[in-house]
Amino acid sequence: MSKLDALLRTYTERPRGITGIGVTVVTKDGPIYTGVSGVTSLDPEKARPIAPDTVYWLASQTKLMTAIAAMQCVERGQISLDDPIGSVLPELADPDILEGFDDNGLPKLRKAKNKITLRTLMAHTSGLTYGFGHPDLIKWNAHIGQKRDISTGHISNYIEPLVFEPGSGWAYGSGLDWVGQAIERLNACSLEEYMQKNIWAPLGMTSTTFRLESRPDLMSRKIEITNRNPEGDLVSIPQPFDSPAAHDLGGIGAYSTLEDYGKLLQALLNDGAGILKPESVDEMFKPQLDETLGDMHHLLYPEIPADIKLNFGLSVSIRMAPMEGKRDLGCVSWGGYPHLVWWIDRKRGLASTIFRQTLPREDPIITEMDDKIETAVYELAEE
């Protein structure tokens, strides 16, 4: 048993540990490690051992695939990164900016001066954010009597005012969901159909979909989502995202497996071989923010130590300083809501992803686990 195998078992077999986990580590030549531990359900009658082909809801790990699809559209000349997106998405052609509320509690709105572009959507600098997490948008939605429910997968849930002038700030939000809509309209097909033809099939990703309800073979392999209650025990919870969803949301809507996602990471390690040109990968992984905006990452993830300098590319977080025995300078990464995470270290020719379906977001056991797994991954790579 390897150190990584033992580590995964530690966290699935310990009291109040997690239900299941999978880790894969790839180089340019393919996987050098794939390990799993645990079961797919807390219910002994439903539980099956976790396998490399167990299906997980990717949540925001969907964003990487959508960014790749968008860069393919740029390569074809269908759109440029700096074209106003309103020509493709009229919903975003003339947005309002919410600048707080007056003394009577009425929203103060003005028209944006700058245009939203594909680049600002992908870099989260468009002014769009997730309204359920922004106090002014929560208040604005209450004012207009609108209840947002992103679990339905309907893009209309993201039609809200901006919270700053496009290009002048950074706020994590629905940009990649809108990018997915742009891809559909540019190509006259669903995002599922587009990715199947242009990403999944070329890479041999046979277990990835937005439409879980149309793939009973995948549904039968899905792991349930669990949440740690205030007493510290795990409980099963309903899927936070509807199936079927109203739209193929490019920010949060896909399902996949450890094996499939490893193939995606390997392609990017190989400068996009089979799906993108090297210069497109370079652009995705290039810092897009000035230093002030880069520091805003820590507002979103306060658990990140302040001395870890970050920036943001086109759908990816970028490490701006190395850490001994861990990710190097320029390493890109992102994750998914139920504690998935991926990273690509191009300098060392290494990529990895950790698949879980565990909440809450701030679970301290997960933070501890991630640190130990990352260290073990780099130790494995040095062997």
37, 60, 315, 333: the catalytic one is 60
Residue 174 carries which side chain, given as an amino acid letter?
S
Check if the beta carbon of residue 201 is closer than 8 Å to that of residue 335. no
Check if the beta carbon of residue 225 is closer than 8 Å to that of residue 236. yes
Identify which of 128, 273, 122, 250 has the alpha carbon closest to the alpha carbon of residue 183: 250
Whether residue 60 lies in the annotated active site: yes
- Please state, in angstroms and as integers, the Cα–Cα distance from residue 204 to each residue in 48, 107, 197, 248, following that order: 25, 50, 11, 20
Check if the beta carbon of residue 335 is closer than 8 Å to that of residue 352. no
Three-state SS for 96?
strand
Largest separation between any pair of C-alpha atoms in the chain: 66
Tokens of 253: 């809507």
How are strands ordered across the β-sheet holding 234-237?
234-237, 225-228, 358-359
- Other C-beta atoms closer than 10 Å to the C-beta of 93 total 14
Compute the distance between CA of residue 29 and CA of residue 282 in angstroms, rounded to an integer. 20
- Please state, in angstroms and as integers, the Cα–Cα distance from residue 194 to each residue in 23, 29, 68, 153, 187, following that order: 27, 27, 11, 18, 8
Compute the distance between CA of residue 229 and CA of residue 267 in angstroms, rounded to an integer. 39
Tokens of 111: 């028209």
Query: Which residues have CB under 8 Å from 205's CB, separation 6+?
Result: 199, 256, 260, 263, 264
Catalytic residues, by residue number, are: 60
